[in-house]
Amino acid sequence: MLFGTGVALMVGLLVVALLVVPVSFGVAARADAKVRRPAESRASYPNPVGAVAVADVNVRCDRWRQLATRAWLICGGASLVAVAVVGVLICVG
């Protein structure tokens, strides 16, 4: 592998990682907000209208919670990749 090609691939990987970080951060923050909103509304109304409404809210909260967890993991992973690539580029350069 040529030196220039390896550096170009590393820079490309860095660019992709730096694009993934803010997108996944935004998705994670939005999903966390969606999880908290129904939880707060359930706490303010201790006697819900019906069991179906509570089950529906619980299912939606679980889905948003799973999305938030995945998005936070992707954000953290992309951040680690970006830091590692920068470290390699500093050592190479």
Name which of 80, 72, 73 is nearest 26 in CA terms.
Answer: 72
d(CA 86, CA 49) in angstroms, rounded, equals: 54
Taking only the tens place, the pLDDT of each residue in 78-89 is 999 999 999 988
**What's the pLDDT at 40?**
56
**What's the pLDDT at 81?**
94
SS3 string, the chain, reads: CCHHHHHHHHHHHHHHHHHHHHHHHHHHHHHHHHHHHHHHHHHHCCCCCCHHHHHHHHHHHHHHHHHHHHHHHHHHHHHHHHHHHHHHHHHHC
**What's the pLDDT at 85?**
92
Give per-10-residue mean pLDDT for the chain (93 aa): 72 93 94 78 54 68 91 95 92 80
